[in-house]
Amino acid sequence: MKLRVGVIGTGAIAKYRHLPEYAAREDVEIVALCDIIKEKADKLAVRYGVESVYTDYKQMIENEELDAVSVCTPNYLHAEMSIFALNHGLHVLVEKPMATSLDEANAMIEAAKKQERVLMVGQNQRLAPMHVLAKEIIESGMLGKVNTFRTVFGHAGPEHWSKTGKWFFDKKQAFAGSLADLGVHKMDLIQFILGDVDEVACFIDTLEKKDCGVDDNAVAVLRLKNGIMGTVETSWTYKPAEENGTTFFCEKGTLKMAVEPDAPLVAYFANPGRGRCVFEVPKMQTNEEQFSTGVIDGFVDTIQGKKENPVPGEEGRKALKVVLACLESAASNRKVKIEEVK
């Protein structure tokens, strides 16, 4: 029997990621779409042969016989919609950041546990083959201990990705700018590969997009619980091309991910006898191309009992806590311990 899914929100992330990835699976049926702008949902319903379109997500959940939903709406709605769906017995895939506060994230996780349903967060960077292999390389010890790292995620702004996504610039709806949009990816990735963050120091600013109420640039310094230090840079003002790379500086060499154009994943060894080693992996995904993130496959396979949840709510909460700590650091002009975030 096919898994019956509904998608709440039909903006860019649903259009380019969730819907095509659901449609690519023969064991999934897209039953219903929901968007407050009905015309958007109608167009996608025609493309994917979906019969039911709603403007009220509660009506969709109550009227349709669904197994699961994707929540692809502005950040401030993630918790409300996810909890409603979970309490109606549905599995939930929610876009990142999973919530706008720790209380919301906790409530989502508790609802999933109570209903014994899957709650997965769309943190796709940890699923990229390049990043999975990088984690294996670092854990193998071939480069020795990681001392420091540098990671960057920037592009020209969400208006170039989502033509109707004005909510990205509204603090009430988004709660933060580039830090919540892009930084949450890197906070999750660094912790996935290296370990949990202990404390942060962060600067944020609005350098170009002066009419928006959130940051368009952020620079954070992270110290992990294992002593590793590094920087995270996020930006909505990188032009003309996107940058989405990470470098690990280790005892025995350096590992670069999506930094060098001709080598998506490359290691440089301090031992001159080893030199440069290029690993065969797909290049880093970008917003300008169609690709499979692995998020939908992970979600569906988890529901079907084929694998463990690759990004459970607890992992999404960890990334969110670092973003919240960065915002507190920027506001208070001091270092902030992750454990301070309540």
Nearest-CA neighbor of 235 among 214, 209, 254, 217?
A: 217
Tokens, residue 147: 């001392």
State the average pLDDT for the chain: 95
Quick check: 293 pLDDT over 70? yes
Average pLDDT for 290-305:
91
pLDDT tens for each residue of 17-58: 999 999 999 999 999 999 999 999 999 999 999 999 999 999
Q: What percent of the chain has pLDDT over 70?
A: 97
Average pLDDT for 55-82:
98
pLDDT tens for each residue of 236-262: 999 999 999 999 999 999 999 999 988
CATH of 125-289+319-340, one of 3.30.360.10, 3.40.47.10, 1.20.1250.20, 3.20.20.210: 3.30.360.10
At a CB cut-off of 8 Å and minimum separation 6, what does 253 contact?
143, 144, 267, 268, 269, 270, 271, 274
Confidence of residue 286 (pLDDT cuts 50, 70, 90): low
Nearest-CA neighbor of 95 among 120, 63, 116, 61?
A: 120
Yes or no: say if 45 and 51 are a contact pair by the CB < 8 Å rule. Answer: yes
Q: Which helix (H) or strand (E) holds 221?
A: strand 217-224
Output the pLDDT for position 287: 56
Give the residue range(s) of CATH 3.30.360.10 domains in the chain: 125-289+319-340
Yes or no: say if 229 and 105 are a contact pair by the CB < 8 Å rule. Answer: no
CATH of 3-122+293-310, one of 1.20.1580.10, 3.40.50.720, 3.10.580.10, 3.40.50.300: 3.40.50.720
CA distance 342 to 335: 16
Tokens, residue 106: 């906790």
The structure's pTM equals 0.96
Give the residue range(s) of CATH 3.40.50.720 domains in the chain: 3-122+293-310
